[in-house]
Structure 1
Amino acid sequence: MLEEGTDMDVTHLQVATIAHLQWKSKLSDFFYGVGSLTLAEVPDHANCEFGKWLYNSGLSEFSSYPEMKKVEALHTDFHQKIRQLVQMPEEVRKSSEGQQALSTFKAECDDFVNLLESVEAKAAKESI
């Protein structure tokens, strides 16, 4: 059973879902030349809002959820991939290699979001 205050923490999962989908959109825009993105705009995995929550209280409060270790790993990978893609030269971004890298990132983002939603649903079910 979850501790008191978990409803607020589930909100962190919901906000993280939205934020990470927004990154997927930002990166797509960047790849298609619609927007700009710099490395300075990409926070470290531990310094984004979700990362701060995850390392300050999320991992401990959801320690009974084995999925949280995978959430942590996928979140770290997510930020590393964004950094790699932002550093990719424009000519590579426009190439089939770049498009494949973006496609892979989008699929991994969807996997991460699905995992967050799964943990959220499990927490909501247990708090009833």
Structure 2
Amino acid sequence: MARFVTEAVGMGKRAALDIDRAWRGQARTPASTVPATAAHEIATWYHPQARRAQQRRLPVADRLTGNPEVQLPLSASELQAEAARCFSCGSCTSCDNCFQYCPDLAVSHGPEGYAVLADYCKGCGICVRECPTGSMLLQEELR
């Protein structure tokens, strides 16, 4: 069971969308429509290593004085540092790495995002390797 705020926000969004669909009489969405990005697909060398912020807790003596929150919130700077640790797994961040590293100029960047021009791509996989979020995927084209 994941115990992260981002996971809770995602579950809340999926629940709200399913409630909306139920009220409209539409079918529920599948549990996951986006394939998960595996750890080996993320170019971790683009992300600086950073330790997770330590969770502070209210001292025991203060807990006995009422019904306060035991886990203390993170400060604004700690929240920003935690957000910077995120890899944005599987989501394109428009970093232009695929575009810049392609030796065949087979990646184009337009208003709809990036597209691989199949006529020019030789399948070397450099764009996939240099994608810091693992959002590029190289698949053999079936003919």
Instruction: Output the TM-score relative to the length of structure 2.
Output: 0.22
Q: Relative to total residues, which structure has the larger helix share, 1 or 2?
A: 1
